[in-house]
Amino acid sequence: MRVCVLAHCKPPMTKLNCDRLRLQPAAVGVPVKVHRTLEGLLTAVRACRACDAHLPLGPRPVLQAGATTRILIVGQAPGAKVHASGVPWDDRSGERLRDWMGIGAKTFYDEARVAILPMGYCYPGRAASGDLPPRRECAELWLDGLLARLPRIELTLLIGQYAQAHFLRGAGHASVTATTRDWRAHAPRIIPLPHPSPRNVAWFKAIPWFDDELLPVVRRNARKLVYG
């Protein structure tokens, strides 16, 4: 029996009985052996059209990962600008995030050093205020398989409520502020952060411990892992 390496299901799923594969016809068509490498899995993710019907601009998965990377950034989902460029964090939020990490764009976009996996890989569209939440299908279909192929991750930055809710499960708090305030409960391997959006500038300025206590740790740890 050929078992899909994406799913950690019990009993193991085959190509004939897997709900995930029924959800994702594009993935079904990819031979299971292709998913044995990170490169093969990334190819399958980039061809994904699982929620085509729900995406106003169509699927365009934006992510990066390399097997040797030691830092993982888990954000929300691409905005319209990132959808257009196809480059993750290619906006003012990304500039602030790179400043928080103390690394330049060249290093940030080196997939051998930094992996970038948002909770949703495609632009989900607009809501009444801001963008819609990331599509849940990405995590359901792909996230476990990708994480299993990133064995050297030593620092995971969880940016915003969706990443924190997924990765921290019951260990987070009700708000991003409270979870971020309690960052020492998860450090040094995991650090929760707010979204570095310009819309949150008032938040950054109002909370002195963020600049004084947390960012120096983020910067020191990130720089050590990419330059050390």
Tokens of 224: 């050590």
Binding mask 154-183 for ligand SF4 (x = CB under 6 A): ------------------------------
Q: How far is the CB of 107 from ligand SF4 (least distance, A)?
A: 26
CA distance 74 to 96: 15
Helix (H, G, I), strand (E, B) or coil at 160: coil
Q: Which is it for the CA torsion 171, 176, 181, 187, positive or negative?
A: positive
Q: Smallest gap, in angstroms, from Cβ of residue 54 to ligand SF4? A: 8
Contact code string over 74-93 relative to ligand SF4, x by CB under 6 A: --------------------
118 lines the binding site for ligand SF4 (CB under 6 A): no
Provide the token pair at 113.
Answer: 């050093």
Q: Cα-atom radius of gyration of the chain, to the nearest Å?
A: 18
Single out the residue of 160, 103, 164, 110 nearest to residue 131, CA to CA: 160
Least spacing, CB of residue 45 vs ligand SF4, in Å:
6
Closer CB to ligand SF4, 64 or 180, in the complex: 64
Q: Which of 4, 73, 138, 225 binds ligand SF4 (CB under 6 A)?
A: 138
To ligand SF4, the closest distance from the beta carbon of 53 in angstroms equals 10
120 binds ligand SF4 (CB under 6 A): yes
Instruction: Identify which range of 9-17, 85-93, 117-125, 146-154 contacts ligand SF4 by CB under 6 A.
Output: 117-125
Q: Does an H or E element contain 148, and which?
A: helix 144-148
Among residues 7, 48, 97, 116, the one that binds ligand SF4 under rule CB under 6 A: 48
Q: Which residues contact 39 (CB under 8 A, 6 or more apart)?
A: none
User: Which of 4, 38, 41, 61: binder of ligand SF4 (CB under 6 A)?
Assistant: 61
Q: Buried b vs exposed e over 79-109: b needs ≥16 C-beta within 10 Å?
A: beebbeeebbbbbebbebbbebbbbeeebbb
7 binds ligand SF4 (CB under 6 A): no
Binding part of the chain for ligand SF4, among 3-11, 132-140, 178-186, 218-226 by CB under 6 A, reads 132-140
- Residues in contact with ligand SF4 by CB under 6 A are 45, 48-51, 59, 61, 120-122, 135, 137-138, 141
